[in-house]
Amino acid sequence: MRNGKIQIASLLMLGLLSPAVVAQDKPKPDEKDRPEVQTTPIKVQIVFTEFEGEKKVKSLPYSIYINAQNAGEVKSWVKFRIGSRLPIYIGKNEMQYIDVGTNMDARSAYTSDGHVLLYITLERSWVDGEVSVPITKADASPTDAPAGHFQEPIIRGFKSELDLKLREGQPVESTVATDPVSGKVEKVEISYTVVK
């Protein structure tokens, strides 16, 4: 009788555990059908150059690394941010901070003929001089003289969204723009190399 109880208990235990064992053996359909994404690592070089007439006054190079997908839909973005937070006086002893610097968002695909399809958003802002702003008394009438002046920065900006097809080692001058106020010319040159 004791052996009969042990055998029944053993059969019950096997019956309870067998669905868990079977469930673990089944592969998940998503993992089985999903192909591995092949990538080619590339280094993208972006150079902002500023000119006053024919004279080059500034050159700002940046490099970002991207795993360019070899096939399929390009989904992942590489993001790059560098800059400063600039305090701006907004009155009544209050300051507001503005981000000034360079932002880049990029993604890419590597084609079978050795080209790279590069989708990139470039945004750059910078301080370019100052302007004198008068300070008035809080209770001043229109006939009262200003209480003084303070300097506020002039912030210039540049933004471009690009869709390029590049060959390795061949730089492309993707954008040329002239600031309508200062007359300065901004040029953007982009190239890439495969990382070995």
pLDDT tens-digit series, residues 146-191:
556 777 888 889 999 999 999 998 999 988 999 888 889 999 999 9
Helices (H) and strands (E) in the chain, counts: 2, 8
- Mean pLDDT of the residues in the chain: 80
- Which residue did the predictor score with more confidence, 138 or 139? 138
Instruction: Report pLDDT for 112.
Output: 80
Neighbouring-strand partners of residue 81: 103
Whether pTM exceeds 0.85: no
Q: What angle do CA 9, 11, 15 make, to 5 degrees?
A: 115
- The answer to whether residue 141 scores a pLDDT higher than 80 is no
Instruction: Report pLDDT for 140.
Output: 46
3-class secondary-structure state, position 5: helix
Confidence of residue 74 (pLDDT cuts 50, 70, 90): low
Instruction: Report pLDDT for 139.
Output: 42
Residues 6 or more apart whose CB falls under 8 angstroms from that of 42 comprise: 65, 66, 67, 68, 108, 110, 116, 192, 193, 194, 195
- Which residue did the predictor score with more confidence, 136 or 149? 149
Question: Which helix (H) or strand (E) segment is 131 a member of?
Answer: strand 115-135
- Give the integer Cα–Cα distance in Å for 26 and 99: 52
- The answer to whether residue 145 scores a pLDDT higher than 60 is no
